[in-house]
Amino acid sequence: MTIKPLIILPDPVLRQVSTPIETIDADIRRLADDMLETMYDAPGIGLAAIQIGVAKRMLVLDVSKEGDDKTPLVFINPEIVASSDERSIYEEGCLSIPDYYAEVERPAAITVKHLDRDGKEQMIEADGLLATCLQHEIDHLNGVLFIDHISKLKRDMVIRKFTKAAKTRGAKAI
Q: Would residue 6 count as lying in a domain?
A: no
User: What pLDDT does residue 172 have?
Assistant: 55
User: What pLDDT does residue 28 have?
Assistant: 98
Q: Would residue 160 count as lying in a domain?
A: yes
pTM: predicted TM-score of the whole model, two decimal places: 0.94
Beta carbons within 10 angstroms of residue 107's beta carbon = 17
Q: Would residue 4 count as lying in a domain?
A: no
Q: Would residue 68 count as lying in a domain?
A: yes
Q: Would residue 1 count as lying in a domain?
A: no
Catalytic residues: 137
CA distance linking residue 125 with residue 83, whole number of Å: 9
CA distance linking residue 4 with residue 74, whole number of Å: 17
CA distance linking residue 156 with residue 161, whole number of Å: 9
CATH number of the domain enclosing 79: 3.90.45.10
pLDDT per position as a tens digit, 131-172:
999 999 999 999 999 999 999 999 999 999 999 998 887 655
What is the total count of domains within the chain? 1
Q: What is the mean pLDDT of residues 13-22?
A: 98
Domain carrying residue 118:
12-169
Q: Would residue 84 count as lying in a domain?
A: yes
Query: Which residues 6+ apart lie within 8 Å of 166 measured at CB?
Result: 8, 9, 10, 11, 172, 173
pLDDT per position as a tens digit, 98-126:
999 999 999 999 999 999 999 999 999 99
Q: How many CA atoms, within 13 angstroms, populate the side-chain half-sphere of residue 8?
A: 17
**Burial class (CB within 10 angstroms; exposed 0-12, middle 13-18, buried 19+) of 5:** exposed
Residue 173 has pLDDT above 60, yes or no: no
User: What pLDDT does residue 34 have?
Assistant: 98
Task: Fill in the DSSP letter of residue 56.
Answer: B
Within 8-82, where are the H helices?
Answer: 26-41
